[in-house]
Structure 1
């Protein structure tokens, strides 16, 4: 069975689906058999991203499933399965993730308000979670200039939170990739390649 990584967040606007799509692509790009499940039936950002990619003739290098499409035989040969959860899911749904995922990955921006919401979620998961799922925060939309991301990371660690060492910096390339249904790695822009390097580093840190 694959390693299951659930990407969830307390706040919108942290790049949850963008991270889920690119992280799955990074696993696939490293030769791992990876897939993504889009569980956000209301918005379906990952699913729509895959549809745009098909429309422009550059399909994503991994399958994107809806929950109803997932059958055990489809998962049996996977190395990694990424779950893009519903945006701002109910607490009980977040709690249930601990029993389904090997890792709960919580993207958070570095601002104080975002960190406060993230800490609330992490505390809740630690208090009410059950099963096998560990919880780890990854800082996203980090300014590419300055030390704000590093400072936020150390503040979280000082508070006893498990935080990824990799910072996902904010680049306009992510927006262009989403508009085109592609990946930042395919854009002819040095900053896009820096963005892809961040995601690759995160994938290696996680798997």
Structure 2
């Protein structure tokens, strides 16, 4: 994802189906990019659920995440303009009109998907819609999330999606309990006590390197 001309890069994360780890991915990508020295702002646009906002609130007593998490009202132009990357955690199942507008303003639109048949079908429907919108879909990428750490399910699904013409990230985000612990404590996976915490964090760091 290249630097947007005259302003910060916008990385938006959206999904057609709930439970695919959208907010977990948003929080951790923001953390991985911050770790690389970039000035990152995470904007939680899901006013109904507010998963990223609540994540940050839980972590405040532990010292915070290391980057601001704002709702749309708090995302003032001056704050956004001073950042290198704006990560947007969209509302779940956004309306088609809003989705198209999001794709047009984002430098990269990331669609997390699980590896089950139902999740793959929902992802294909979303990508097919955006592909029909012309240039709006050029910066869309699918990333496989909540992938079983053992087995080759990710490789099979990734090739199926690519055969269908979709742009799928090489990196997958495997399913580890460290992410659940991180959400409960308001931390990043790297900061929780779990035997697989560093493996979970490594997946996100690798994805961040692939994307930006």
**Residue 58 of structure 1, CA deviation:** 2.1
Could you tell me whether the CA contact under 8 Å between 1:96 and 1:129 is conserved in 2? no
Match of 1:195 in 2: 200
1:90 maps to 2:102: no
The alignment yields a C-alpha RMSD, in angstroms, of 1.3
Match of 2:50 in 1: 44
Which sits farther off after the overlay, 62-71 or 10-19? 62-71
Secondary structure at 2:140's aligned position in 1?
A: strand
**Residue 57 of structure 1, CA deviation:** 2.7
1:108 maps to 2:120: no
Could you tell me whether the CA contact under 8 Å between 1:24 and 1:62 is conserved in 2? yes
Q: Deviations over 1:104-130 (max 9, x none)?
A: 100000111101110000010111265
Cα distance in structure 1, aligned partners of 2:28 and 2:171:
14
TM normalised by structure 2 equals: 0.94
Displaced runs of 4+ in structure 1, greater than 4 A?
129-133
Cα distance in structure 2, aligned partners of 1:154 and 1:190:
30
TM normalised by structure 1 equals: 0.96
1:119-198 matches, within 5 Å, as: 119-128=124-133, 131=136, 134-198=139-203
Cα distance in structure 2, aligned partners of 1:80 and 1:46:
16
Match of 1:8 in 2: 14
Secondary structure at 1:125's aligned position in 2?
A: helix
Q: Could you tell me which of 27, 40, 46 is aligned with 1:34?
A: 40
Could you tell me whether the CA contact under 8 Å between 1:25 and 1:61 is conserved in 2? yes
The structure-2 alpha-carbon separation of the partners of 1:131 and 1:153, relative to structure 1 and needing over 3 Å to count, comes to: closer
Cα distance in structure 2, aligned partners of 1:14 and 1:72:
30
Aligned pair count reads 206
